[in-house]
Amino acid sequence: MVKKLTSMYRKLDAGSLLRKFGIMPNKELCAITQLTPAGFLQTIRIGKLLRSKYSSFLSNIRKQDIYVRTTERSRTVQSAVGFLYGLLDEVELPPFKVSASTNFCSTKWTLIDKCFCKKRKVLQKASKLNETLRNIPEIVDNLMAHKCNDVNFDHPVSERLADEYWTLLDDTGAAQLKNEEFFKLHKLLAHPFLCELSLRMFNATKDSKLTPKIALYSGHDLTIKSVLTALGLFDGRWPSFAARVVFELYETPEGRHQVRILYNGIDISDKAFFCRPNCSLNNFVKFCKIDNLKQFRSAKSYRDACDS
């Protein structure tokens, strides 16, 4: 029986950065970096898909049963609205909590002012393959925004260019998997979110009436990449438009609480670091709070890891 559902996904297809406000008619295409009509429709369809999968769980959902957090970019807020519209049908939308951090970091979980972490900056420099590859994700986003909306490119480029860059992006991701600093960086980036998620799940087993049944985090490709990497689930392939990670907390007939992770609808739980030997909630909580930071000189907290 599912007791709690947490969904994280990256924003959908957004307007290309290659176009200027004045060139683009609003009734045909969205403004720069905002969702296109096709992208917004996709969010609704994903919401409806999950509604069909969790119909019994959602049967008595009220707005106070839902927690929503998005980054401060307009496109992630728009993605959350579309997703919830499809998921909840006629249920009134709950209030949104906006996060300045793309990784949903907050002082509540880190005890660090503005989530400043010196170690993160050091690791960001060390984990870069080279300057040439730094901007590839942004280039791919722009190319795919054109391709997904059948918009002609302003310059005579091959239509295959987007596919070629996407392949290069995946090759870069595969190479990063061999980089120890890469893993440390994304463990730090994901740690505050994982602590928040695990505590919410633990609280749901103690007093389900006071804990939201659904938690939605609307973020970015880098948000998902960090979480998957920290859990040992990133395979090097860049998260596509509308990629989603769903965390299920469910209770077995024997009364044990287990965690299941689905990436774009596929159960990948057995590959997670904490699922050895099983995917119990206790293992998940221990991993999120302690084991995730083991690479940082016996750090016992996020602050310790940042100061290591």
Q: Report, in angstroms and rounded to the nearest whole number, the Rg of the chain calculated over CA atoms.
A: 20
- For residue 98, what are the β-bridge partners? 70
Q: What is the CATH number of domain 2-307?
A: 3.40.50.1240
The residue count of the chain comes to: 308
Q: Name the least confident of 10-19, 127-136, 147-156.
A: 10-19
- Domain borders along the chain are 2-307
- Give the tens place of pLDDT for each residue, 219-267: 988 899 999 999 999 999 988 888 999 999 999 999 999 999 999 999 9
Whole-angstrom distance, CA of residue 304 vs CA of residue 146? 44
* Confidence label for 15 from pLDDT (cuts 50, 70 and 90): very low
Whole-angstrom distance, CA of residue 286 vs CA of residue 199? 11
Q: Say which residues have a Cβ less than 8 Å from residue 297's Cβ, sequence separation at least 6.
A: 304, 308
Whole-angstrom distance, CA of residue 206 vs CA of residue 203? 5
Using DSSP's 3-state secondary structure scheme, residue 51 falls into helix
pLDDT at 132 (0 to 100): 58
Whole-angstrom distance, CA of residue 249 vs CA of residue 67? 15
